[in-house]
Structure 1
Amino acid sequence: MTSECDTCKLPIVGKSINALGKTYHPDHFVCGKCNKPITESPFHQRDGKPLCDADFTESCPKCAACNKPITDKIVTAMDKQWHENHFVCALCNGALLGQEFHQKEGKPICQICYRGKVADKCNGCGEPIETCATIALNAKWHPDCFKCKTCGKAISTTKFKVDSKGFPMCESC
């Protein structure tokens, strides 16, 4: 029994290629982009059309780290795409996939590096500030750490005093 070529609709006598649920003369199984016969196996497909290796690779997104095509798993983060093994901390090269991370100047930073090397430190407790900060006295403070040095109450108004060492004091102290 002869089959019919899906491209030219003529009978196929001899060798044939069965791909994508269709049958083709070997020279009629062509790349959906460059129209050259696909001779390599396995081939690629996109949107139901066969693609040669070169056109498939050219159409793949480029990795933000190495700028090479991503032909397998893609990690999308920070409006960029990455090879899975290239999505790493810019400071320690630790894997970030599935981890919380920060970004600084367009680069991903792991939590440990961010807290230890990047985050601003609170002028009150010295710990990293990871969310909101109170900015006063030319420094950054955790909101809970910006408190009166004398009585320890939080200073929540814009009016406060400054002691001789440059620390805040509430108006009542």
Structure 2
Amino acid sequence: MTERFDCHHCNESLFGKKYILREEDPYCVKCFESLYSNTCEECKKPIGCDCKDLSYKDRHWHESCFHCFQCKNSLVDKPFAAKDEHLLCTECYSNEYSSKCLECKKTIMPGTRKMEYRGNSWHETCFICHRCQQPIGTKSFIPKDDQNFCVPCYEKQFAMQCVQCKKAITTGGVTYREQPWHKECFVCTACKKQLSGQRFTSRDEDAYCLNCFCNLYAKKCAGCTNPISGLGGTKYISFEERQWHNDCFNCKKCSLSLVGRGFLTERDDILCPECGKDI
């Protein structure tokens, strides 16, 4: 007795008929298509066994139905893009949706590297420094007056230059006598310590920290011999080309403060009236 060979679904004999195996079970063409064929997105008909099934993101098309939504040209073996569930050839997609390069005004094709800044787009090769005309790429740049500059070109053309080292000041800086300086270049003329952030004074247009200025130029107190800077509200007494700190202007004998009082002199000594009455 001959063994039966039937469709797994309808049980009709498959001898002498075309059939399809699925998970090792045989199906007649009619049953297989009704059970397992995908529906074409375009014509909504089943994609039969004798047709090529083209798929994209779990959607399926007949080969003849796989075309651009806008121009209807076939997309088989061609690049395409998707927009709002519609498939478009690259030309239609670009004309409809792609951004235009701000420099050359041409469409930036899908898949092409582009640069974006403040809502504008450029081809990578069109995004160039206004001064040197070289592509900026992924390097840092500085915008000015609707133009873009690579950092070296911007510094050469626009950045202030330090009076001391003649190099561009890109961050921070100090202004002294209406001229710009790097913080690290603005130093005491004598000891070379940075003056930025601390009190300083000048002599003959040169800047000095207070310690150096006092040591070099300030008069010495006739009492303690330390410099009298006269800066920051320092109070002092002057008499016959000599100077004293207020705290040092005392009677030589009894140490009474003579600030605001009468006094007498004996040689180089300053005396209160009481100590000087026997002079």
TM-score (ref. length: structure 2): 0.48
- Residue 155 of structure 1: SS of its match in structure 2? coil
Of 74, 80, 101, the match for 1:5: 101
- Residue 215 of structure 2: SS of its match in structure 1? helix
- The answer to whether the Cα contact below 8 Å between 2:104 and 2:126 also exists between their aligned partners in 1 is no
Runs of 4+ in 1 over 6 A off after TM superposition: none
Confirm whether residue 39 of structure 1 aligns to residue 135 of structure 2.
yes
- Residue 108 of structure 1: SS of its match in structure 2? strand
Match of 1:170 in 2: 272
1:139-150 counterparts in 2 under 5 A?
Answer: 139-150=242-253
- Alpha-carbon distance change, 111 to 157 in structure 1, aligned in 2, over 3 angstroms: closer
Confirm whether residue 22 of structure 1 aligns to residue 120 of structure 2.
yes
Of 158, 178, 181, the match for 1:59: 158
Distance 1:77 1:140 in 2: 34
Q: Deviation per CA, 1:4-33, whole angstroms, max 9, x where unpaired?
A: 2245755234564334553124446553xx
- The answer to whether the Cα contact below 8 Å between 1:44 and 1:56 also exists between their aligned partners in 2 is no
Distance 2:165 2:261 in 1: 49
- Alpha-carbon distance change, 161 to 46 in structure 1, aligned in 2, over 3 angstroms: farther
Distance 2:241 2:190 in 1: 28
Q: Deviation per CA, 1:138-165, whole angstroms, max 9, x where unpaired?
A: 0221111112223322222374322123
In structure 2, runs of 5+ residues without a counterpart are 1-93
- The answer to whether the Cα contact below 8 Å between 2:142 and 2:154 also exists between their aligned partners in 1 is no
Name which of structure 1's ranges 123-132 and 46-55 shifts more when overlaid on structure 2. Answer: 46-55
Match of 1:82 in 2: 181
- Residue 157 of structure 2: SS of its match in structure 1? helix
Distance 2:174 2:108 in 1: 45
The alpha carbon displacement at 1:113 in A equals: 2.7
- Letter of the aligned partner of 2:265 in structure 1? V
Distance 2:191 2:99 in 1: 59
- The answer to whether the Cα contact below 8 Å between 1:70 and 1:83 also exists between their aligned partners in 2 is yes
- Alpha-carbon distance change, 64 to 146 in structure 1, aligned in 2, over 3 angstroms: farther
- The answer to whether the Cα contact below 8 Å between 2:219 and 2:228 also exists between their aligned partners in 1 is yes
Confirm whether residue 138 of structure 1 aligns to residue 241 of structure 2.
yes
Name which of structure 1's ranges 88-97 and 2-11 shifts more when overlaid on structure 2. Answer: 2-11
- Alpha-carbon distance change, 85 to 133 in structure 1, aligned in 2, over 3 angstroms: same
- Letter of the aligned partner of 2:122 in structure 1? Y
- Residue 3 of structure 1: SS of its match in structure 2? coil
- The answer to whether the Cα contact below 8 Å between 1:124 and 1:145 also exists between their aligned partners in 2 is yes
The alpha carbon displacement at 1:87 in A equals: 2.5
Query: What is the RMSD computed on CA atoms of the aligned residues?
Result: 3.3
Question: How many residues are aligned here?
Answer: 167
In structure 1, runs of 5+ residues without a counterpart are none
